[in-house]
Structure formats: structure tokens, C-alpha cells
Amino acid sequence: MKRIAVYCGSATPADPVYIECARNVGRTFAEQGIGLVYGGGRLGLMGAVADACLAAGGEVIGVIPEALVTAEVAHRGLTELHTVGTMHQRKQLFTDLSDGFLTIPGGTGTMDELWEAMSWAQLGYHAKPVGLLNVAGYYDGLIEFVGKMAEVGFLRPQHRDILIVGDVLTDLLARMAAHQPHTPIFRMSSSEL
């Protein structure tokens, strides 16, 4: 994987485990030669992942909607900064520029990005790995919910493994690199649906 889109929060929680996670992701990407594609902000986890990647000599590409340039305080020191018109264009450019997606802790916007990456994979709009780094148990409830969707039958067995979950970054990246695409809904027969 040459580039990975990282979805994360623009806030800085009180517990330093979250900001340190973002810094570790940025450093690791640079050390492994993986370009970072992210939301383009300079605050919170967004800024931490970008700054750490840049400090370690990595490539960092930001994608930010025009309306959020001021609100998220666009990071002006990136390798590239793309300003787009809408959130949809932002997520489409994340997909176009990246070979996979990694979600670290964040809030509502981060969840929107994660669910769309999973949904697009399920449908067949992309066949890229979707990773979830479960830092300090932050995503335990979400992981349980994904299991519940599968148990009840809203998540097909063919799509159960779209979300690649791990709590050790290097192991998760290795699993994402070994990702084998699943059968998307667009290529399934009506009897499989």
C-alpha cells in the first residue's frame, strides 16, 4: 500500500493515549514509506498524525472542504492540500488517492467516513482494505455492534470481514496489506442476497 487514508478526530481528548496513537500512526507510516491521506486539519488527532508523519520525512496529503478550512484550521505545511466543495467530494478524493483506509479514534465525522468506506466496499465501489485500530478499547462497542449486525443477518457472511480490526498498528497494517477482496453486492446473485 503506497497511501492510506486515516480517519480520526479533530479534537484532543484529555487522555494522552489518543494523541500518542495518532503520532505513532504518522511516524509508522513515514518509516514504512506509506503516504498519509487525511482530513487536512492541523488540530487534534488530525494535526498530530500529520505532524508526526511530516517530522519523520513522510508524505502527507490533506483533503478539506472549503467550509471547514477555517473551522478545522487547515494545515498549511503539508506535501499537498486539496480544498474541495463538499464532504462527499472529500470522501471520494480519500478513496481515489488511497490504497486503503485506517480509522483511529474520532467522533461523528470519523464514524461517517468509516461507515462509508465499509458500505462502498460492501457494494463494490472499491476493493480496498478497511482497518480499525482499537486503541485502549475505544472501539469495543462498535466491534460488538458489527458482530451483532452479522449475528442478526444484516451483515452478510461474505462481508463480515470487510472491517479488519486490530489493537497493534504494525500487525493491523500487515493484515491490511494481505487483504483479499470479498464478493461485492453488485456481483452477487439474488439468491445470495
- Please indicate, yes or no, if residue 193 is contained in any of the structural domains: no
Phi, psi of 7 (to 5 degrees): -100, 125
Structural domain boundaries enclosing 50: 3-187
4: Cβ–Cβ under 8 A, 6 or more apart, which residues? Answer: 29, 34, 35, 36, 37, 98, 99, 100, 101, 102, 173, 176
**pLDDT-derived band at 192, boundaries 50, 70, 90:** low
Split into its structural domains, the chain has a count of 1
- Please indicate, yes or no, if residue 57 is contained in any of the structural domains: yes
Surface-to-core class of residue 57, CB atoms within 10 Å of its CB (0-12 exposed, 13-18 middle, 19+ buried): exposed
- Please indicate, yes or no, if residue 11 is contained in any of the structural domains: yes
- Please indicate, yes or no, if residue 182 is contained in any of the structural domains: yes
- Give the model confidence (pLDDT) of 108-161 as tens digits: 999 999 999 999 999 889 999 999 999 999 999 999 999 999 999 999 888 889
- Upper half-sphere CA count for residue 23 (Cβ side, 13 Å): 7
- Residue 82 maps to which CATH number? 3.40.50.450
Phi, psi of 29 (to 5 degrees): -60, -50
- Give the model confidence (pLDDT) of 35-88 as tens digits: 999 999 999 999 999 999 999 999 999 999 998 887 768 999 999 999 999 999
Q: Is the pLDDT of residue 188 over 60?
A: no
Q: What angle do CA 63, 68, 74 make, to 5 degrees?
A: 60
- Please indicate, yes or no, if residue 172 is contained in any of the structural domains: yes
- Please indicate, yes or no, if residue 192 is contained in any of the structural domains: no
- Please indicate, yes or no, if residue 46 is contained in any of the structural domains: yes
Q: How many CB atoms are closer than 10 A to CB 125? A: 15
